[in-house]
Structure 1
Amino acid sequence: MSALKRATTNPHQNPTETNPLTSLLQSFTAYRSEPTPESYHFLLKTLAQSSQFHHIPPVLDHLEKNEKFETPEFVFSGLLESYANANDLKGALELFFRIPKFRCVPSVYLLNSLLKLLCRSREGLELVPGLLLRSRDLNIRLEGSTFDVLIAALCRLKRIGYAIELMNYMVNDGFDVNTKICSLLLSSLCKQRGVDSAQVMSFVEGMRKFGFCPGLVDYRNVIRFLVKAKMGRDALGVLSQMKSDGIKPDTICYTLVLDGIIEMGDFSKADELFDELLGFGLIPDVCTYNVYINGLCKQNKIEAGIEMVASMEELGCKPNLAIYSLLVEGFCRTGDVSKAVDLVREMESKKIGLNGETCRIMIDGLVKEDKIAEACALLEEILDKGFPAGSLSFDVLICQLCQKGQFSKALELVEKMVDKHVSPGSRVWEALLLTSDSKFSFVEPIFTSLVDTNKHQPS
């Protein structure tokens, strides 16, 4: 073997031994030995890894016709994978059906390995039915593991109906239910479009009859599905079932159900759930706080939301932009814009950058309270600092300036917007033209400049 490895890995050191099969035979002949299955395995693996597939057929022919030992399966398993990786699927199939000629009885293990390789691509999937039919000629009996491979492939292709049907055939044929495959099916079903809650719950109950006990991740997937379908009450029921089954929900489960209950407007139940979460010794994360503070803001309990932020920080959980945006919007909606401004300043001091949505909320709030000067100052700050923001809120502000006769200030902001590549909307130009009258000459150069700028922007 040492001589074979030297000859194969360093062929240039011995130019006369350029043929890999010759290297194999001479290496063993020199020591009056016969090549072993391991030596063939090494040589075939080396040739495949170095993409010398043209040297493989002579080696296989010699193995088939000249050797007498029973060739172990491991000699072929790696080679089948190499053929598949080289996208030679038909070559892999031909080798598989040729295996008995090497005095080897292929097992279901080797069949499953080949199925996994074929199921990685659509081209390979087309070859699966033929492989399964011909495998009977090799006396290979399908096992539960074979069904598992096929079901996993169908789930990956989002053919969940076929996967469930195959699972039913598997159960009817007396195979045991694989918990891992059941979880995969449930997860895939929850992600499938067009599936309703009745189908999901029916599948869970059906699998229970065959001994499947949903675990934490399974319950979490079902709860997420129900909340996304705006069925918060059903999600709460699944949470209760989870506890009845002796499975402790985690923070993610509680956060998901909280979100569903708050979306329904059942705020008292949301408070109970949050207290229950704490009572179980679970630690809320930033997503949990985000959901709960959203519920407080929907009830216009903005100050309670501020207190919750303080509690978060005491527990070492840093509030994020989404939470601050909820509170800023809450203050603006309830008419307490000055507190919203203070909150924005606090965000800046904590290095929490604004986004376009927060800027829009603030400007809309200031305009609504007729605090035009403060709105203009904020808009200019947004433009100067390069914060991301769309033109919609800017348009509202500029239209307000035009209505109040502050044409110069409106024009100044438009110029700044154009310089920062923020395109004013049609309402702005209409307001400017109606307000400017004889001052149209001031508007025209800006409009022309903006059009010229947009010509050079990538489409």
Structure 2
Amino acid sequence: MVRRSPNFFLRKHRKWPLVFSNKIPWHQSFTQKQSVLSFKKSVAQHDPLHPNFVPSLLRPLSLYNLHHSPQAYHFLIKTLLHNRLFNHIPTLLHHLQLQHFETPEYIFTHLIRSYGNANRIQDALDIFYRMPKFRCAPSAHSLNSLLALLCRNQRGLELLPRVLLNSLNMNVRPEESTFRLLVCALCRMNKVAYAVEILQRMIDDGLGVSDKIFSFVLSSICAQGDLDGEDVEGFWRESQKLGFSPSMGDYNSVINFFVKKRRGSDACNVLNQMKSDGIKPGIVSYTMVLSGVVAEGDYMLADELFDELLMLGLVPNVYTYNAYIGALCKQNKVEEGIKMLACMEELGCKPNCVTYNTLLRTICKVGDIIRARELVREMKCKGIEMNSVSYMVIIDGLISKGEILEACDLLEEVLHKCLFHESLPFDEVICGLCQRGLVCKALEFLRKMVGKNISPGARAWEELLLSLNLDTKFSRTTLIALVNPL
């Protein structure tokens, strides 16, 4: 018996057994895509500035049989938005409203966002409320687009309660993403109390709250300068009871809060909790706690923290060294501070102006002007520019030791660099020069001050008048007339 091959039909008839119909779905899809492409090319040829631009956009819809294509209408809307022809959009929407298909929600979310970018809040509200007329049921997706727009400024925030109430009447149910958006937006607007209330509502309703939301609210609470420690501690404890797993950044936010409140011991407690929770603190964490305990005056704890971070293998940065050198200087351990300065450079950490200012302040306080001069020369050799604080510290030290001429030279350098500071002792220098009989030098210095729009105090004017053997009833303008010719 001869067995026929399954390809017998093909060999005999030399043609395919099936005839493809032009009505199957793939062919219809291909034809529609070709129509859409031709439609887009036709629209691109129209002039946006032409007065009949919108009718010319609608005409190709019937030409290419795309009346029932949401994609075609979306393309027309995008064309108007791209050309910023907002006044033509209502006409196109009216035409869309007369159709019978269900308009996809993404068209309206696109419109809402575009209206938001153009600061047309009322138009965004109107299109959201009109969505049901286009046979489109709004959801949390379009609601979130509207809320994101409203949360950008105070005016929009005032409209939030009414929008949320109306959305409930439209059977739009807020989702977790909606509450998350509101919490983050309120935190960015510094409305932290309202954000905490919404967060509590999410928890009460059994909605999932991610660690990211807890972290965002926590950092916003810590950034509030008018809150006390109990508010932060309360939120910190309650959030952890609800399963919040804080990261290193969250611990640092709480540490920074306590440091700003000058509660170094509480900051140290948070650092210890961080270690007990299995998170290794970084150098930023230790530096903040170190500066906090130094400000609180607990220098023994500062020594322990500095030794501990070294034992953990952490590399101190310039802020860490500045905090520890500050602790040494507050204990008048200047030599140890200078040795620490050398250690910094050996480990490749370059000191900055704050480092030297800390040492200069302590050295000048004890009256060691020679050592202060050496530090100033060292700063200049290393290319570290003195700031107004540096000059103020060294000039005060020179005046206290009676080195008026050197203090005057430094003040002239300050005037030349325009590094003015309210505490700079201009009056003391003028008085000191006058008391030493250097009236011409004082007048020359006064002229330089006037040239920089700096006026000395009453004590300096009085000393100059007395030195010039003038009666104190002369006005300041009289003395300025004496100064100007110089």
TM-score by length of 2: 0.84
Judge conservation of contact 2:434–2:464 (CA < 8 Å) in 1.
yes
Partners in 1 of 2:483 and 2:437 — Cα distance? 26
Given the alignment of the two structures, is residue 310 of structure 1 paired with residue 342 of structure 2, yes or no?
yes
Judge conservation of contact 1:328–1:343 (CA < 8 Å) in 2.
yes
Query: Given residue 6 of structure 1, which amino acid in structure 2 is its aligned partner?
Result: K
Given the alignment of the two structures, is residue 294 of structure 1 paired with residue 323 of structure 2, yes or no?
no
Partners in 2 of 1:188 and 1:240 — Cα distance? 23
Given the alignment of the two structures, is residue 273 of structure 1 paired with residue 305 of structure 2, yes or no?
yes
Query: Given residue 37 of structure 1, which amino acid in structure 2 is its aligned partner?
Result: P
Judge conservation of contact 1:160–1:188 (CA < 8 Å) in 2.
yes
Partners in 1 of 2:40 and 2:463 — Cα distance? 83
Which of residues 82, 86, 102 in structure 1 aligns to 2:114?
Answer: 82
Given the alignment of the two structures, is residue 263 of structure 1 paired with residue 298 of structure 2, yes or no?
no
Partners in 1 of 2:49 and 2:463 — Cα distance? 87
Match of 1:140 in 2: 172
Distance 1:443 1:403, change over 3 A: farther
Given the alignment of the two structures, is residue 53 of structure 1 paired with residue 124 of structure 2, yes or no?
no
Partners in 1 of 2:93 and 2:234 — Cα distance? 52
Query: Given residue 168 of structure 2, which amino acid in structure 1 is its aligned partner?
Result: R
Query: 1:236, CA displacement in angstroms?
Result: 0.4
Judge conservation of contact 1:251–1:282 (CA < 8 Å) in 2.
yes
Partners in 2 of 1:122 and 1:423 — Cα distance? 44
Match of 1:436 in 2: 468
Partners in 1 of 2:187 and 2:133 — Cα distance? 35
Q: What is the correspondence of 1:43-442 to structure 2 with a 5 Å cutoff?
A: 43-66=76-99, 68-384=100-416, 387-389=419-421, 392-437=424-469
Query: 1:257, CA displacement in angstroms?
Result: 0.6
Query: 1:247, CA displacement in angstroms?
Result: 1.6
Distance 1:28 1:360, change over 3 A: same
Query: 1:223, CA displacement in angstroms?
Result: 0.8
Query: Given residue 290 of structure 2, which amino acid in structure 1 is its aligned partner?
Result: L
Partners in 2 of 1:103 and 1:35 — Cα distance? 13
Distance 1:408 1:452, change over 3 A: closer
Partners in 1 of 2:93 and 2:446 — Cα distance? 77
Query: 1:114, CA displacement in angstroms?
Result: 0.9
Query: Given residue 96 of structure 2, which amino acid in structure 1 is its aligned partner?
Result: L
Q: Give the match's secondary structure for 1:130.
A: helix
Query: Given residue 113 of structure 1, which amino acid in structure 2 is its aligned partner?
Result: S
Distance 1:120 1:26, change over 3 A: same
Distance 1:450 1:318, change over 3 A: farther
Query: Given residue 73 of structure 1, which amino acid in structure 2 is its aligned partner?
Result: E
Superimposed CA distance per residue, residues 99-137 of structure 1 (whole angstroms, 9 cap, x where no aligned partner): 122222221111111111111122222222222112223
Query: Given residue 39 of structure 1, which amino acid in structure 2 is its aligned partner?
Result: A
**Root-mean-square deviation (CA), in Å?**
2.9
Distance 1:386 1:170, change over 3 A: closer
Q: Give the match's secondary structure for 2:455.
A: coil
Superimposed CA distance per residue, residues 229-258 of structure 1 (whole angstroms, 9 cap, x where no aligned partner): 111100100111111111222222111111
Query: Given residue 88 of structure 1, which amino acid in structure 2 is its aligned partner?
Result: R
Distance 1:326 1:450, change over 3 A: farther
Query: 1:382, CA displacement in angstroms?
Result: 3.9
Distance 1:64 1:421, change over 3 A: closer
Judge conservation of contact 2:318–2:351 (CA < 8 Å) in 1.
yes
Partners in 2 of 1:336 and 1:87 — Cα distance? 64
Partners in 2 of 1:90 and 1:393 — Cα distance? 59
Judge conservation of contact 1:432–1:443 (CA < 8 Å) in 2.
no
Distance 1:211 1:13, change over 3 A: closer
Size of the alignment, in residue pairs?
Answer: 450
Query: 1:70, CA displacement in angstroms?
Result: 2.5
Query: 1:400, CA displacement in angstroms?
Result: 2.4
Query: 1:401, CA displacement in angstroms?
Result: 2.9
Distance 1:450 1:44, change over 3 A: farther
Q: Give the match's secondary structure for 1:126.
A: helix
Q: Give the match's secondary structure for 1:249.
A: coil
Query: 1:184, CA displacement in angstroms?
Result: 1.8
Partners in 2 of 1:109 and 1:370 — Cα distance? 75
Partners in 2 of 1:401 and 1:231 — Cα distance? 46
Query: 1:172, CA displacement in angstroms?
Result: 0.9
Q: Give the match's secondary structure for 1:437.
A: coil
Distance 1:145 1:224, change over 3 A: same
Superimposed CA distance per residue, residues 295-352 of structure 1 (whole angstroms, 9 cap, x where no aligned partner): 1221222232222222223333322111111111121112111111121122222232
Superimposed CA distance per residue, residues 160-219 of structure 1 (whole angstroms, 9 cap, x where no aligned partner): 222212221221111122322211211121122431101110111111121112211111
Identify the range of structure 1 (406-415 vs 189-198) with the bigger mean alpha-carbon deviation: 406-415
Query: Given residue 3 of structure 1, which amino acid in structure 2 is its aligned partner?
Result: S
Distance 1:93 1:266, change over 3 A: same
Distance 1:280 1:40, change over 3 A: farther
Q: Give the match's secondary structure for 2:87.
A: helix
Name structure 1 gaps, 5 residues minimum.
454-459
Distance 1:444 1:230, change over 3 A: closer
Partners in 1 of 2:66 and 2:482 — Cα distance? 85
Name structure 2 gaps, 5 residues minimum.
1-35
Query: Given residue 83 of structure 2, which amino acid in structure 1 is its aligned partner?
Result: S
Partners in 2 of 1:379 and 1:399 — Cα distance? 14
Query: Given residue 263 of structure 2, which amino acid in structure 1 is its aligned partner?
Result: M
Which of these two proteins has the greater Rg computed from alpha carbons? Answer: 2
Identify the range of structure 1 (381-390 vs 180-189) with the bigger mean alpha-carbon deviation: 381-390
TM-score by length of 1: 0.89
Distance 1:14 1:149, change over 3 A: closer
Match of 1:37 in 2: 70
Judge conservation of contact 2:290–2:323 (CA < 8 Å) in 1.
yes
Query: Given residue 37 of structure 2, which amino acid in structure 1 is its aligned partner?
Result: S
